[in-house]
């Protein structure tokens, strides 16, 4: 009985991932991480189309001390990453295509955020 309860506690503390975790890092031109920055991740039909057509739910994220935001994604899929103008930084947009991945994969994207005056 104890092993069953312990197993249930471990499962609650360490939930299984359903898909890969996309790691997005925002850095300044000098490569220092930008902490506390808001960004949005929007699944889109295809990166090569204009205008981009949203095909899923918009996710609002915020970077941690290392300038990283992480979110579970599905693949293959295309995603529009948008960093709104904030804290003296220019609005930045980047569309990325993620190929088929395993749930344990962690694809990464790094965006250099230019200052408003730069």
Q: Is 49 exposed, middle or buried (0-12, 13-18, 19+ CB in 10 A)?
A: exposed
Please report the pLDDT score of residue 97 as a whole number. 94
Taking the alpha carbons at both ends of the chain, their separation in whole angstroms is: 64
- Average pLDDT for 5-15: 38
For residue range 88-99, what is the model confidence (pLDDT) as tens digits? 899 999 999 998
For residue range 27-84, what is the model confidence (pLDDT) as tens digits? 999 999 999 999 999 999 999 888 999 999 999 999 999 999 999 998 789 999 999 9
Q: How confident is the model at residue 5 (pLDDT cuts 50, 70, 90)?
A: very low
| Domains, in order of start, for the chain | 18-112 (2.60.40.10)
């Amino acid at each position: 009985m104890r092993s069953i309860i312990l197993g249930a506690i471990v499962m609650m503390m360490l939930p299984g991932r359903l898909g890969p975790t996309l790691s997005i890092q925002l850095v300044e031109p000098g490569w220092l991480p930008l902490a506390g920055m808001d960004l949005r991740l929007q699944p889109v039909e295809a990166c090569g189309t204009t205008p981009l057509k949203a095909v899923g739910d918009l996710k609002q994220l915020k970077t941690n001390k290392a300038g990283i935001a992480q979110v579970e994604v599905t693949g293959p899929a295309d995603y529009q990453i948008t960093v709104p103008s904030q804290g003296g930084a220019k609005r930045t947009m980047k569309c990325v295509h993620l190929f088929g991945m395993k749930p344990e994969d962690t694809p990464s994207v790094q965006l250099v955020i230019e200052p408003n005056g730069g």
